[in-house]
């Protein structure tokens, strides 16, 4: 139990240094990646409470860390310019992902209107369902926008 003095309805405790009972710990990098949201080793070295951790393997094989650090070139600037909505739409099918959603969906379709940049996202179980998504999209556009 701590003793402190009261000032302005707050109890002020004196600062004391705690000695660490563990001077060093050996951990697999993968085991703490999930706990620390896949933070880079360079950033982890700045966290005071982790200064005594020695990593067995800096060159680890965490898939999420690897993907997060990938770089790619930007897409080229679009040369098309549409004046009316629905004159041009971009459709992309994404997937197959290793881990499905909670209801076992591995793919999704994005539909982006070039003029308004409005985006529709449709989850699908199989690639063959893209035609159904497009049919439903066209029906929606005809019904809501004439």
User: What values do phi and psi take at 119, rounded to 5?
Assistant: -125, 135
95-117 tens-digit pLDDT: 888 888 889 999 999 999 988 88
* Average pLDDT of span 4-26: 67
pLDDT digits (tens, 9 = 90+) for 52-68: 665 544 455 566 666 66
**pLDDT at residue 48, rounded to an integer:** 65
Q: Is the pLDDT of residue 71 over 70?
A: no
Contact call for residues 76 and 106 (beta carbons, < 8 A): no
pLDDT of 70 higher than 70: no
Residue 116 gets the label, from left (phi > 0), alpha (psi -120 to 50) or beta, of alpha
85 φ, ψ (degrees, to nearest 5): -65, 145
């Amino acid at each position: 139990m701590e003793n402190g003095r009261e000032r302005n309805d707050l109890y002020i405790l004196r600062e004391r240094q705690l000695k660490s009972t563990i001077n060093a710990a050996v951990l697999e990098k993968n085991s703490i990646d999930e706990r620390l949201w896949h933070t880079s080793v360079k950033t982890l070295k700045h966290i005071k409470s982790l200064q005594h951790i020695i990593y067995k393997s800096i060159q680890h094989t965490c898939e999420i860390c690897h993907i997060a650090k990938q770089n790619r070139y930007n897409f080229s600037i679009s040369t098309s310019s549409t004046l009316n909505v629905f004159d041009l739409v971009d459709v992309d099918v994404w997937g197959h992902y290793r881990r499905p959603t909670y209801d076992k969906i591995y793919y999704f379709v994005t539909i982006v209107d070039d003029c308004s940049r409005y985006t529709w996202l449709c989850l699908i179980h199989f690639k063959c369902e893209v035609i159904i998504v497009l049919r439903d999209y066209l029906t929606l556009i005809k019904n809501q926008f004439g």
